[in-house]
Structure 1
Amino acid sequence: MSVPSRRTSGRGLPPSALREQEGPTARPGQVLRHETVLIGKSELRSEIGSDAYHGGLLDPLSAALHVGRFVRGMAEACERTGVEIHERNAAIGVRRTAEGRFEVSTSAV
């Protein structure tokens, strides 16, 4: 399967590239070895709630995670519960306290 290198403002495939992927040459399911569906703009909007893309590949067995947002969200949740975050320090040990919490030893002086 060839993947077009053209992009529209970093927002997915332009309509011409989407059309190029339609038809008998569009067989991503053969590469992935499970069913995938090439969908157009209206179907994609119902999947992701955005009109920014002209179409996409629906893969029911995959998922995506924005790692930066996930880590930021985890850090914010931890801080709300009283966790102190010390960046750029190696964790050198973890122990459970008598209260059932965790205490992490770091390389910080």
Structure 2
Amino acid sequence: MTKKSYVLVSGGVQYALHLSSDYDGIKDACGLIDMPSPVPDNAVDETETSICRKGKAIKVSVGLESGKRRKVIVGSTKTIKGLIGKTFGSSVIKSASVVQHIRLG
């Protein structure tokens, strides 16, 4: 699995993410764009976890046609319904749901 650089724009801030190249088929639905060749000066290099904690993106669990499930990052302003029917890796996405973890106590 090769990594590729993407940009997630949220609230006027550009966040640089280094994700799998499998995102090429769903980057529009996730709110990602390819990193421009001269890297923007105002791009903030972040990890997936820190962007989710800030509320700029959410983790979505997608069910693939091959029977496997994968977790993908989606911009908080995008709908997860837009993922269905797109290609992730070499398989078509059949379902999408929001990953939640609730700590009690």
TM-score normalised by structure 2 residue count: 0.22
User: Greater helix share, 1 or 2?
Assistant: 1
TM-score normalised by structure 1 residue count: 0.22
**Greater relative contact order structure (CA < 8 Å, 6+ sep):** 2
